[in-house]
Structure 1
Amino acid sequence: MPGSLVPEDWEIIETSPGGVDKDFVNKKTGEQTWYTPAGMTAEEILRIPGATKYWASVKDVEKYIKKMEKQKEDNGGKDINDSE
Structure 2
Amino acid sequence: MAAVPDMVRKWMPENYEVLGTDGFGRSDTREALRRFFEIDGVAVTLAALSQLVRKGDIDAKVYQKAVKKFGVSNERTDITEL
State the TM-score, normalized to the length of structure 1: 0.33
Which protein is bigger by CA-based radius of gyration?
A: 2
The structure whose residues are more often helix, as a share, is 2
The structure whose residues are more often strand, as a share, is 1
State the TM-score, normalized to the length of structure 2: 0.34
